[in-house]
Amino acid sequence: MRPLLLGLLSILCPLAFTVATAAQPNIVIILADDLGYGDLGCYGHPIIRTPNLDKMAAEGARFTQFYVAAEVCTPSRASILTGRYPIRSGMAHNQFRVLRSISTGGLPASEITIAQALKAQGYATGMVGKWHLGVWTNNPEHHPLKHGFDFHFGLPHSNDMNPSPGNPVKAGSRVDQDAAWWNAPLFRGYELIDPKADQTQLTRRYTEEAQKFISTNKAKPFFLYFAHTFPHTPLFASDRFKGKSTRGIYGDVVEELDWSVGEIFKTLKEQGVADNTLVVFTSDNGPWLLMGTETGGSAGLLRDGKGSTWEGGMRVPGIFWMPGKIKPTVERNVASTLDLFPTLIRLAGGETPKDRPMDGVDLSGLLFKGEPIEREVFCYYRGEQLYAARLGAWKIHLITQAGYGEKPVTHEKPLLYNLEVDPSENHEISAAHPENVARVLAAVEKHRATVTPVRSQLIDVVAK
C-alpha cells in the first residue's frame, strides 16, 4: 500500500487500522516519582549507588538540561502522555495542584495519549505503576485502559493518598514507615487485586509485571509506560534493599529502583529485543524537599525542588538508550518530556496530531544523527499560571515561589538568569541584559496566544 493511502486510512480510522512494520522500535518509558536531578550516581550523587542507570547513561544520551512540563505529579504526567502543556487539557489547578483520591475529573477523552497514537501504529501498549491521571473508581472513564493501554497493573494515584485510620500525623515524611498506615489499592485492569498492597513489595511486583509484558509482547512492537511509585513518600524498600544504602531509606528506595531498571534491561536482552528498543528514563518532577533530609531527595546544583518553578522543581534526569542508534553522549541541548510524543510517534512511523497545538519537538534527528533542534520558548507553569520561561540560555521569572509554604511574588520587572552560566539561579542579571528579557517576553506572548483556557479537571470531587 502506498504511504499516502496508508496515512489517509490511519487518519480515517486511527484506532482500528494498524500499520505495524518490522522497523518500528519497541519503546519503554521508565518514570520515577519525585526523583531529583541530583539523586543518581550519573548525575553526581556522592553516595547513592545506581550502577544500572549509570551504565544506561554511559551507553546512551544523558541530558543535562531535561525538563518536565509541571512541578508536581498530575500535570506532569498529563503532559508526558499528551505532549501538551497541562493547561491545554485542564490537568492543572492553582489550588489543588494534583488529582486527589476523591477527584472525579481526569485526563479528558478528547486528549490523544502516546499509547493511543502508538496503538494506531500497531503497537502493543502496557502501563505499569502509578497513574494519577484520574481515579477510575470514581469515574471509570479515567482508567488507563480507556486511554490507549491494552494492559494495566498499578495504583490509581500517589501512595500517600489513602491513609489508614490511625495514620500518624505527618506520617509521609517518617523514616520508620509502617505498611499498616497506608492503603495502596493495587489493580490489574479494573480488578482490585489488593486493597492494601504491601508497599515494601511494590517495586518488585511492578518490575515482574513489566518483565512479563515485555516477554509476552516481544513479537510485536510494544510500548511500555512504567511509572514507579517511588521515591515519592512514604518510602518503602524490600528486605533486600532496606538498610543497605548509606543514604538511609531514601537511598535504599533509589537503589531498589536502579535494580528494577537493571531487571528491565536483563529482560530486553534475554528476550532478544534490546537492539530494537528505545528506553527512556526520567522523573515526573523534582525532589520533595519539604520531606527533609531523611525522606526528601536532592536537586543537586539546582535551586528548590518539587512544587517550584525554580530549576530544581522541573529539571530532572533524562536518559535515552538505544544501542547502535544512540551514541554514548552527554547531551547539553534543552529537551523535555513534551518532546516524547512527537519523537516516539515519528519512530513508530506515525504523525503528530495536526488538529491541536502540540508543544514538543521531535528529538529523533538530535538523538540519532546529532542534528540541531529548533526549539522556541519553554514555559514553566505552576498550576494554571505561567511563572517562568526559558529561551536559549536565558530564563525569566514573572512570578517566584518556593515549592511549598511561601506566598507567590509577582515581578513587575521579570527576573533574568543565564542558566548556562548560573544553573543554580544565584545571580539575577536583568538590569544588565534588558534585551534578553524582552526577547523571552515576546516568545511568552507568542505562546500565550496559542492557549485557550479550559475548565480544570482537578476541581470536582465525589458527592458526600
Q: Which of 25, 28, 33, 203 binds Mg ion (CB under 5 A)?
A: 33
Which of 61, 73, 326, 443 touches Mg ion by CB under 5 A?
A: 73
Q: Identify whether the C-beta of residue 390 lies closer than 8 Å to the C-beta of residue 378.
A: yes
Please state the closest distance from residue 39 (CB atom) to Mg ion, in A: 13
**Applying CB under 5 A, which of residues 32, 34, 185, 345 lies at the interface with Mg ion?**
34
CB of 324 to Mg ion, least distance (A): 33
Q: How far is the CB of 16 from Mg ion (least distance, A)?
A: 35
If one asks whether residue 71 binds Mg ion (CB under 5 A), the answer comes out as no
Report, in Å, the least distance between residue 297 CB and Mg ion.
11
Choice among 93, 132, 152, 157 that is catalytic: 132
Stretch that binds Mg ion, among 3-11, 70-78, 222-230, 359-367 (CB under 5 A): 70-78
Query: What is the radius of gyration, based on Cα positions, of the chain?
Result: 21
73 vs 124 by CB, closer to Mg ion: 73
Whose Cβ is closer to Mg ion: residue 130's or residue 142's? 130
Residue 74 or residue 121: which is nearer to Mg ion going by CB?
Answer: 74
Given a contact cutoff of 8 angstroms between Cβ atoms, the answer to whether 68 and 360 are in contact is no
Task: Reply yes or no on whether 132 is catalytic.
Answer: yes
- Binding segment for Mg ion among 33-41, 80-88, 244-252, 373-381 (CB under 5 A)? 33-41
Tell me the closest approach of the beta carbon of residue 255 to Mg ion, in angstroms.
Answer: 19
- Based on CB atoms, which residue is closest to Mg ion, 52 or 285? 285
Q: Which is nearer to Mg ion, 113 or 285 (CB)?
A: 285
Q: Among 49-57, 219-227, 283-291, 380-388, which window interacts with Mg ion (CB under 5 A)?
A: 283-291
> Which of the stretches 57-65, 285-293, 332-340, 345-353 binds Mg ion when contact is defined by CB under 5 A?
285-293
Q: Segment near Mg ion (CB under 5 A), from 69-77, 114-122, 145-153, 212-220? A: 69-77
Verify whether residue 73 is a known catalytic residue: yes
The residue count for binding Mg ion (CB under 5 A) is 5
Among 150, 255, 284, 359, binds Mg ion (CB under 5 A): 284
Q: Which of 285, 337, 436, 457 forms a contact with Mg ion (CB under 5 A)?
A: 285
Binding site for Mg ion (CB under 5 A): 33-34, 73, 284-285
Catalytic residue numbers, as ranges = 73, 132
